[in-house]
Amino acid sequence: MTHTAFLDHLRQIVGANHVLTDGDLTAWEQDWRRRSRGKALAVVRPGCTQEVADVVRACAAQRISIVPQGGNTGLSVGSTPDESGTQLVLSLTRMNSVRHIDHDNLTMTVDAGCILQSLQETADREGLLFPLSLAAEGSCTIGGNLGTNAGGTQVVRYGNTRELCLGLEVVTAQGEIWDGLKGLRKDNTGYDLRDLFIGSEGTLGVITGATMKLYPKPAAQLTAWAAVPSMNAAVRLLGMAHKQLGAGLTGFEVMGQFALGFVARHMPQLRIPFAGMEDAPYCVLLENSDSESEQHARERFERLLELALEDGCVLDAVVAESLAQAHELWHVRESIPLAQAEEGPNIKHDISIAASRIPEYVEYTDALLRRELPGVRIVNFGHLGDGNLHYNVQAPSEGDPHAFMREHEGRVNHLVYESVARFGGSFSAEHGVGALKVDKLQKYQSPVALSMMRAIKSALDPQGIMNPGCILPVSG
């Protein structure tokens, strides 16, 4: 089939308006951090599952590669095409309906292209909670969240996206539709296909629908901000918070003073508690969700903070007085990546380590980087409750930051990831592998695990048309 005939065939399936080949395709071809720009054969925007299946079948027949895409907010360059001009971007954003809400089963079944924030709002309108929450929630889609097994700020209580999903609808690499949307909490009937597709970053099939868990809305949600004397103290506070708040602990974020300093410099309108407090190298943001009442939540929170002050793991703390104040505190935390970008080029790491080993890891790696690359600025923050740090490195304030990146990025990555391996951690906690970290997976994953991954890939996608070069290198 000629190129033109193939595109005409796609137009017949999804409608001429939804096959984009001309004009400015930057939004689909460039990754969120603007570090990579590809060229798509076409951007195709199906409107329903059957259209996805028909498009995939057409691509399979011609051996055309497909890059599934949701909100294109991924941070591992997994949702954009390569530079060859031969890959098709399959954008799911037109598929954005909530199909069904089951109050008794506490589930909602949705199209994969639904924006995360719209799902949170839908649940809220029904008097329920959909707890997945991340700073990109206004743009990312539930299909992308499932594709990357996204984490976010509520994992300490509700788990990653995987833990929130009870079923999937998937279009396979052959263009067949698998309906696994039963919404069962127990279903031990063979291999767990759902879990295979979650976190597979579009390399095994296209997620077109999902049944997600809902929760009762907490009666009250309180946020506190605490200054702590060390990372060790932050981890001690985490243990105390688990013990005192139990399932009420719904958020536990850590922020280094360096990271907060960038927010203060670039977003002076934001108020940062304990900014520059000299003996507090870190601050912690805690969230307590209570099923009884605001008074009960406040009493438990205050008791925790009293104990922590006595213990010395907290130097000072404030509890937000209103929802608006709580939002302001979260806004400071969520502004760190933007403030870092304003400061200049930087090297991002999304690592996880057992919480108990994090203080040792940070001490060891901080010293290593400062010794090997004098002047580097370590911007450390993240979801400490999940053992997940965004352990980022900014060029020294003196000199040309772009030259630093060119000369030292590889070395910085090497030092950080070797250190992560030394402490038994993961080089990608929540952002996935994408095309960006394919070499890291080859290096740090065991040969046995890699061989099983290759077997899964070739069994489900024998032609290798699903997002080639993402997670695993292109074979042959």
Residues within the interface to ligand FAD (CB under 6 A): 32, 67-75, 78-79, 92, 112, 134-136, 140-141, 143-145, 147-148, 150-152, 201-202, 206-207, 337, 430-431, 434, 467, 470
Which residue has tokens 């990146």?
405
For ligand FAD, which is the closer residue by CB, 38 or 143? 143
Q: How far apart are CA 127 and CA 210, in angstroms?
A: 20
What CA–CA distance (Å, rounded) separates 244 from 468? Answer: 47
Taking the complex as a whole, the smallest distance from the CB of residue 119 to ligand FAD amounts, in Å, to: 12
CB nearer to ligand FAD: give 89 or 245. 89
The smaller minimum CB distance to ligand FAD, of residues 70 and 251, is found at 70
CB of 53 to ligand FAD, least distance (A): 13
Residue 140 Cβ vs ligand FAD, minimum distance, rounded to whole Å: 3
Distance of CA 281 to the CA centre of its chain: 26
Residue closer to ligand FAD by CB (options 183, 468) is 468
C-beta closer to ligand FAD: residue 116 or 304: 116
User: What is the distance in angstroms between the CA of the first residue and the CA of the last residue of the chain?
Assistant: 25
| CB nearer ligand FAD, residue 87 or residue 413 | 87
The least CB distance from residue 467 to ligand FAD, in Å, is 5
SS3 169: strand
Rg (C-alpha) for the chain, rounded Å, is 23
Q: Which is nearer to ligand FAD, 342 or 363 (CB)?
A: 342
Comparing CA positions, the residue from 132, 206, 133, 123 lying closest to residue 162 is 132
Residue of closest CB approach to ligand FAD: 144
**What is residue 270's three-state secondary structure?**
coil
Using alpha carbons only, give the angle 120, 121, 125 rounded to the nearest 5 degrees.
Answer: 120
Residue 249's nearest CA partner among 292, 301, 307, 322 is 301
We find the least distance from the C-beta atom of residue 370 to ligand FAD, in angstroms, to be 27
Cα(172)–Cα(169) distance, rounded to whole angstroms? 10
- Closest approach of ligand FAD to the CB of residue 430, in Å: 3
- Residues 148-178: b if buried by 16+ CB within 10 A, e if exposed: bbbbbbbbbbbbbbeebbbbbbbbbbebebe
